[in-house]
């Protein structure tokens, strides 16, 4: 059967999307030898072996004709195939070069069904997720900076000679000494304001994903 393969390699994880005939399979490999294992799995698929017997960490499969909805995220990096019904597992595959829409069209062409392509706003949670994620990281950074600035202002100083992570302590001590308490507060307020503004803009003008659903008669 005609086989098409797409792979995504990360540091300790490889994901393989295989389209064989009218079946689509998503195989995931994790661990220190993920790249070597993925190469072995790709070779096995090319030889016609069954995906479930190739030793992948996880395998999810579905018939192309059973796809009730396919989605490409706004940046065109992630593929999602949603099966019919409520019990099936959603197949997700991260592309390497922002070709999610092309991958979806290739898979749906094997389904024997007609699909219509449309656009859909992402949810409010998805719109706010990037600013919330960055906000959490910044909050941790700013809290450590504030504590260092508070210690310096009180005359206690920052102990950079003892304990672990001396390099980080020296960095925060230097930044806190340069900014002072007022500067630290201003930086926190400015970044918070920018994050709120970014979240508001994304809520008002939400990015859109591309969605494919079975065509209606």
User: Mean pLDDT of successive 10-residue segments in the chain (217 residues)?
Assistant: 88 93 94 92 93 92 93 90 83 88 94 93 92 96 91 73 68 86 94 96 93 86
Predicted local confidence at residue 5, as pLDDT: 94
Decide which of 113, 135, 160 is a domain's last residue: 113
User: Is 152 in the same domain as 175?
Assistant: yes
83: domain CATH number? 2.30.29.30
User: Is 96 in the same domain as 33?
Assistant: yes
**Rounded (5°) CA angle 66-71-74:** 175
User: Is 100 in the same domain as 13?
Assistant: yes
Predicted local confidence at residue 164, as pLDDT: 64
User: Is 108 in the same domain as 128?
Assistant: no
Provide the 10 A C-beta neighbour count for residue 131.
19
CA 67, chain centre distance (Å):
22
Domain count, the chain: 2
Q: Say what the pTM is.
A: 0.76
**Rounded to 10 degrees, what is the CA torsion of 36, 39, 43, 48?**
100
Strand partners, 61: 25
Decide which of 113, 145, 178 is a domain's last residue: 113
User: Is 158 in the same domain as 85?
Assistant: no
Predicted local confidence at residue 46, as pLDDT: 93
CA 93, chain centre distance (Å):
10
The per-residue b/e assignment along 44-79, b for 16 or more CB within 10 angstroms, e otherwise, is: bbeeeeebeebebeebbbbebebbebbbbbbebbbb
Structural domain of 170: 124-204
């Amino acid at each position: 059967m005609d086989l098409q393969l797409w792979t995504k390699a990360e540091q300790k994880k490889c994901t393989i999307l295989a389209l064989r005939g009218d079946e689509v399979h998503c195989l995931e490999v994790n661990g220190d030898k993920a790249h070597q294992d993925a190469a072995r799995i790709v070779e096995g698929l090319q030889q016609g072996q069954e995906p479930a017997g190739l030793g992948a960490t996880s395998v999810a499969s579905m018939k192309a004709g059973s796809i009730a909805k396919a989605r490409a995220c706004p940046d065109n990096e992630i593929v999602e195939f949603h099966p019919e019904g409520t019990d099936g597992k959603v197949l997700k595959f991260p592309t390497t070069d922002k070709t999610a829409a092309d991958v979806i069209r290739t898979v749906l062409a094997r389904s024997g069904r007609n699909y219509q392509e449309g656009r859909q706003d992402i949810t409010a949670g998805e719109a706010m997720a990037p600013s919330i994620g960055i906000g959490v990281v910044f909050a941790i950074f700013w809290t450590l900076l504030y504590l260092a600035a508070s210690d310096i202002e009180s005359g206690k100083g920052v102990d950079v000679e003892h304990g672990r992570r001396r390099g980080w302590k020296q960095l925060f001590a230097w930044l806190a000494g340069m900014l002072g308490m007022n500067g630290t507060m201003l930086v926190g307020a400015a970044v918070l304001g920018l994050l709120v503004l970014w979240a508001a803009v994304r809520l008002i003008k939400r990015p859109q994903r591309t969605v494919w659903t079975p065509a209606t008669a």
